[in-house]
Amino acid sequence: MTQAQIAAGTADDVGLVPRTGTNSGVTTADGTPLKVSLRRALRRQRLWAMLLVAPLLVFILVTFIVPVFNMALRGVENPQIHDIMPKTTAALGDWDGNGLPDEPVFAALVEDLKSGYKSKEIGKVATRLNYEVQGMRSAIMGSARQAARIKSGPYKDAMIDIDAVWGEPATWRVIKRESAPYTLSYLLAALDMGYDDDGSIVMQPESQRVYVPLFTRTLVMSATVTLFCILLGYPVAYLLANLPLRTSNLLMILVLLPFWTSLLVRTTTWIVLLQSQGVVNDLLVWLHLIDDEGRIQMIFNKTGTLVAMTHILLPFMILPLYSVMKTVPPSYMRAARSLGANPLVAFWRVYVPQTVNGIGAGSLLVFILSIGYFITPALVGGQSGQMISNMIAYHMQKSLNWGLAGALGVLLLALVLVLYSIYNKLIGIDKIKMG
């Protein structure tokens, strides 16, 4: 901004009356130098702008950013053993991890088990350790129940008597590792990794991997949806951009109406259409393309999710494509044709490169939206159409392994934020056109 523009923008704020002072340069009516007045006015405007934004910023920080951050933190928080078994945690501090710990550690264990059993908190420790080693839940619960009867030492032998698991150094290594207030184990689990008996990080065996394949599936499905959206959206956007405005405005309604229709309605409608007793199957039977027994399973699987998601996200591809295509001058294509390019070459080498921006904007938008999809896969996805969001919901609501839900959330969030920053850099987030 040049000095002149600033002056023009703030003249009314400073009450500018240019006149030549006796010793300094230009001053305002009350005698302050113009530079000072301008700076003051600028500061005041800046303050005003910040005051206008502040309420919303605070609102979003409190109602949204803090909760999301809190959720992400759950992916690394590990309070159970640290808080419920403080004595054991402290006693294990000096243990070097070789062989079995000494008697004081066992004494601390018995005390912690007793108090944990009394306060009924020990179940949380049992659940937490069960995530690390299968079967630890019953071992801890049983030990806690019986530890209440141990009156005096030596505790080491007594505990090993109760459950042989206490005689294994591996158990103690896990407890020591997970007694830290923060842990990597949820994040590792979310990447299908874990610790082996020696405490080094390894991949899970192929057959037990769940999350990496699910992430891959989510990415592949999102990419497929994006591709379908390009294939279906490009011709339509081209038509809309090249028709006379009156006609294209009319046809635009056909794009905008689905855009504005409830997501649940659009998902429902695909269930109605594609289910085995649905309209499409009925039509195929009626046309004798398939037998009544041979109805095609088109929904409650991956196909259903792909079709419904493409339908729902297609407007997000058409709208940015359309606005870019509107700016492409038609004369370039005609020039290419007149220079001897056949229509395909002219289209591919002259038209398409000018719409790459639109393809990029639409694709990123569709891809970002689809990797976080939850509702549609949950309703029409069946088993094979589930995505990572559905797994997060499962851990939130069914398995109640909130740490793992948090860790999966962190990974998904990281993925989305990376894509978002690319989008922001390439297109600018405030350039999203709506309606």
Partner 1 sequence: MSALPAYASTLDRIWHYGYRILCALIFVFLIGPILIIIPLSFNAEPYFTFTHEMLSFDPAGYSLRWYEDFLSNADWIAAIKNSFIVGIASTILATVLGTLAALGLSRPQMPFRGLIMSILISPMIVPLIISAAGMFFFYSSVNLAQTYLGVVLAHTALGIPFVVITVTATLSGFDHSLTRAASSLGASPSYSFFKVVLPLVTPGVISGALFAFITSFDEVVVVIFLSGVEQRTMPLQMWSGIREQISPTILAVATILVAMSVLLLTVLELLRRRNERLRGITG
12 binding partner 1? (CB under 8 A): yes
* Binder of partner 1 out of 254, 296, 356, 418 (CB under 8 A): 254
336 binding partner 1? (CB under 8 A): no
**Which residues, at least 6 apart from 370, have a Cβ–Cβ distance to it below 8 Å?**
221, 222, 225, 226, 309, 313
- The interface region with partner 1, picked from 88-96, 147-155, 192-200, 368-376 by CB under 8 A, is 368-376
Long-range contact pairs involving 2-11 (C-beta distance under 8 Å, separation at least 24): 6/38, 6/42, 7/38, 10/38, 10/41, 10/42, 10/45
Inter-residue contact 358 to 237 (CB < 8 Å): yes
Inter-residue contact 186 to 404 (CB < 8 Å): yes
Pick the closer one to partner 1 by CB: 12 or 198: 12
d(CA 275, CA 272): 6
Residue 218: phi, psi to the nearest 5? -60, -45
Is residue 151 helix, strand or coil? Answer: coil
34 binding partner 1? (CB under 8 A): no
334 binding partner 1? (CB under 8 A): no
Which amino acid makes up residue 175?
Answer: I
Pick the closer one to partner 1 by CB: 187 or 368: 368
- The interface region with partner 1, picked from 116-124, 164-172, 207-215, 239-247 by CB under 8 A, is 239-247
Inter-residue contact 396 to 405 (CB < 8 Å): yes
230 binding partner 1? (CB under 8 A): no
Interaction residues for partner 1, span 69-128 (CB under 8 A): 69-72, 74
Strand partners, 233: none
Pick the closer one to partner 1 by CB: 96 or 291: 291
Q: How many residues bind partner 1 (CB under 8 A)?
A: 99
Pick the closer one to partner 1 by CB: 107 or 368: 368
Nearest partner of 258 among 323, 318, 326, judged by Cα: 318
352 binding partner 1? (CB under 8 A): no
* Binder of partner 1 out of 257, 335, 352, 422 (CB under 8 A): 257
262 binding partner 1? (CB under 8 A): yes
* Binder of partner 1 out of 18, 67, 135, 199 (CB under 8 A): 67
- Token pair of 385, please? 């159409």
Residue 22 CB, shortest distance to partner 1, in Å, is 29
**H or E element in which residue 201 lies:** strand 201-203
Interaction residues for partner 1, span 287-316 (CB under 8 A): 311, 314-315
Residue 264 CB, shortest distance to partner 1, in Å, is 5
* Binder of partner 1 out of 143, 267, 303, 401 (CB under 8 A): 267
**H or E element in which residue 210 lies:** none
Inter-residue contact 408 to 211 (CB < 8 Å): yes
Residue 62 CB, shortest distance to partner 1, in Å, is 9
